[in-house]
Structure 1
Amino acid sequence: MSIQFFPYISFPGNGSDAMTYYHEIFGGELNAMTYGDFPAESAGEFPFPVQPDALAHAQLKAGDLRLTGGDAMDADAPGLESNVYSFLLSPESVEEAEVFIRKFTSTGGETVMPFELAPWGSYYGQVRDRFGVLWSFDVEVGHSGP
């Protein structure tokens, strides 16, 4: 079986800002489309009222990372902060992980779990970005370590 997995985030109205932010963090190529980018005759085809400035769909491609998302159409959409899930990144080295962690924490994110040698033998840590998304970092010791 061949399958790819791309997380999709339904943002509570700040999808354009969030996806631009992730593009700044990870680099790569960002493609985004608002509902206003659709032809006017398409507006009636959606099963919900559309807001022209709302993010309909975005995809960030940065190396092997793929992140997709759009604005939730529910006015009561919950925020993204949760301890139930995280996005696990496995950079090639401890140094590369530390660069990403610094990017998150220097732009409004916070350290949830310090990035350090974990009991299972990998370097592991967590940061929550300024949008509430929890990012975990895991680097096997054999890849690179202090």
Structure 2
Amino acid sequence: MAGTISTYVTFNGYTAEVLKHWQDVFGGELNLLTYGQTQMDPSAMPFEPPADSLAHGVLATPGGLISGGDSIDGEYPIRDTAYSMLYNAESVEDAQEKIAKLVDAGGEETMKFETAPWGGSYGQVFDKYGVMWSFSAE
């Protein structure tokens, strides 16, 4: 089997909340594991995580995997345009539906979803957590 690339996100204590929100928007199956649920010996770890912190979560969407866990040592900068999550929609209507869900939940459409120079449709939304989502549809 060839290697694959998927996304891994880290938030300071609320990664499970983010993954649940994305499951509401994009669908899929979500599996969450807190440090308290692991069988790991706490003395074997280089830090002392709270038992309810997310050790590992996986959202298996129909289009791919998004994994993540809570940061233990502080907050990372989130809102930026140097990266984005790219959703290649099945149709223009599919993209518009997902964009509306993100905006209705507190996100901000920063680039209107419309015809792009290459002929498809493209737009950008920052979700309520500061993550930029790019949307593309043929």
Could you say whether these structures have the same fold, taking a TM-score greater than 0.5 normalized by the shorter chain as the test? Answer: yes
Aligned match of 1:52:
51
Which of 90, 110, 119 in structure 2 is aligned with 1:112?
Answer: 110
Structure 1 residues 98-133: Cα deviation after superposition (integer angstroms, max 9, x where no partner): 010011000011101000001121100000101110
Equivalent-residue separation in structure 1 for 2:13 and 2:81 (angstroms): 21
Deviates more, 1:108-117 or 1:1-10: 1-10
Alpha-carbon contact 1:12-1:79 (below 8 Å) kept: no
Equivalent-residue separation in structure 2 for 1:79 and 1:13 (angstroms): 14
Aligned structure 1 segments of 4 or more residues deviating by more than 4 angstroms: none
SS of the residue 2:93 aligns to: helix
Aligned match of 1:102:
100
Q: CA deviation at 1:20?
A: 1.0
Equivalent-residue separation in structure 2 for 1:81 and 1:59 (angstroms): 22
Percent identity of equivalent pairs: 40
Structure 1 residues 7-26: Cα deviation after superposition (integer angstroms, max 9, x where no partner): 10011221111111111111
Q: Map 1:1-146; keep pairs closer than 5 Å.
A: 2-39=2-39, 42-75=41-74, 77-140=75-138
Q: Which runs of 5+ in 2 are unaligned?
A: none
Equivalent-residue separation in structure 2 for 1:133 and 1:44 (angstroms): 34
Alignment: residue pair count: 138
SS of the residue 2:41 aligns to: helix
Equivalent-residue separation in structure 2 for 1:120 and 1:52 (angstroms): 49
Q: Which runs of 5+ in 1 are unaligned?
A: 141-146
Q: TM-score under structure 1 normalisation?
A: 0.89
Q: TM-score under structure 2 normalisation?
A: 0.94
Q: CA deviation at 1:71?
A: 0.5
Alpha-carbon contact 1:11-1:79 (below 8 Å) kept: no
SS of the residue 2:106 aligns to: coil
Equivalent-residue separation in structure 2 for 1:68 and 1:113 (angstroms): 26
RMSD, aligned α-carbons:
1.3
Equivalent-residue separation in structure 1 for 2:78 and 2:38 (angstroms): 27
Q: CA deviation at 1:81?
A: 0.9
